[in-house]
A = this chain, B = another copy of it.
């Protein structure tokens, strides 16, 4: 990767379109791998990626409201509602009317919801762990740094929300 130091010490990158295109393709192919294992499991349950995302974030923040989930997932409430309906009908998620504000619904994973989320998460974590192992610790640091820089500022906010209780 071509780079030089300015007299001021700032690192400059000279990035060809070709290098950037390879990065774009890497994202495309890697994302396919990233979702492949959960997708296989979801098929067995007749669920899709949207259900996985909902399970993931409900698991991360039990009792979260529909509205909060909405802003994290970046879809319309109607779209999320259909997904939640399926999950509730399947007994994977429980929706409790808010005590302070009865308009709100607080979302929790049921026992079987927790089990499925674990199954999905384990498969995806194993893929991630394997990739991290192959790549090595400095690569992982770089990976995370570039991904964070690629996010929309608004989304980065959601990402960093739970970061405190994390790895650094």
Chain A residues packing against B (C-beta within 8 Å)? 1, 3, 11, 13, 15-34, 36, 53, 56, 60, 74, 121, 124-125, 127-152, 155-156, 158-159, 162-163, 165-167
Known contacts A21-B60, A128-B23; A32/B74 CB under 8 A: yes
Give bound CA distance, A15 to B129, whole Å: 7
A–B Cβ pairs within 8 angstroms, 9 of them: A1-B141, A11-B137, A16-B167, A20-B129, A26-B144, A27-B30, A29-B158, A135-B146, A136-B145
Q: Please give me the 3 A-B residue pairs with the lowest Cβ-Cβ distance, nearest first.
A: A142-B142, A139-B142, A131-B149
Nearest-Cβ distance from residue A161 to partner chain B, whole angstroms: 10
Per DSSP, chain A at the interface is helix
Give bound CA distance, A60 to B56, whole Å: 36
Please indicate which of the listed interface residues A16, A18, A34, A146 has the most CB atoms of chain B within 10 Å of its own CB.
Answer: A146
| 6 extra interface residue pairs, beta carbon distance < 8 Å, beyond A18-B165, A29-B158, A140-B146 | A20-B129, A23-B143, A24-B34, A131-B149, A136-B145, A139-B142
